[in-house]
Amino acid sequence: MSTPGDKAKGGTVQGEGDYEAGRRFDKAEQQFVKAGKDKQSAGKAAPHNPAEAAEMNDAEAAGKSRSKGEAPGDLKPRTPKPRKAP
């Protein structure tokens, strides 16, 4: 009977634990960045005019409006409520 450790060494675990696929992805990602394609792709994704920029900002705001605040900056900063004097 094999253990999870044995499967990890052999790269046979599938699903979220597919170690071989993870290594292939990491290697391809490193090559992508080293080739400078990350900056090219970012430039292609940038808004091409003010109307597109406004649309992207509106879409981002709509997404953040449903956020529960998992990441810093997801929600608007809260203003402290005034305390009642004792």
- CA 3 to the chain's CA centroid: 32
Q: Is the pLDDT of residue 33 over 80?
A: yes
Confidence check: pLDDT of 72 > 60: yes
Dihedral angle sign, alpha carbons of residues 49, 53, 54, 55: positive
Q: Which residue reads 């290594």 in tokens?
A: 23
Q: Tell me which amino acid residue 7 is.
A: K
Q: Which pLDDT does position 70 carry in this prediction? A: 66
Helix (H) or strand (E) holding 51, with range, is helix 50-65
Say what the pLDDT of residue 26 is. 94
- In this prediction, residue 64 carries a pLDDT of 79
* pLDDT at 10 (0 to 100): 59
For residues 19 and 13, the answer to whether their CB atoms sit within 8 Å is: yes
Q: Between 37 and 73, where is the model more confident?
A: 37
Q: Higher-confidence residue: 13 or 39?
A: 39
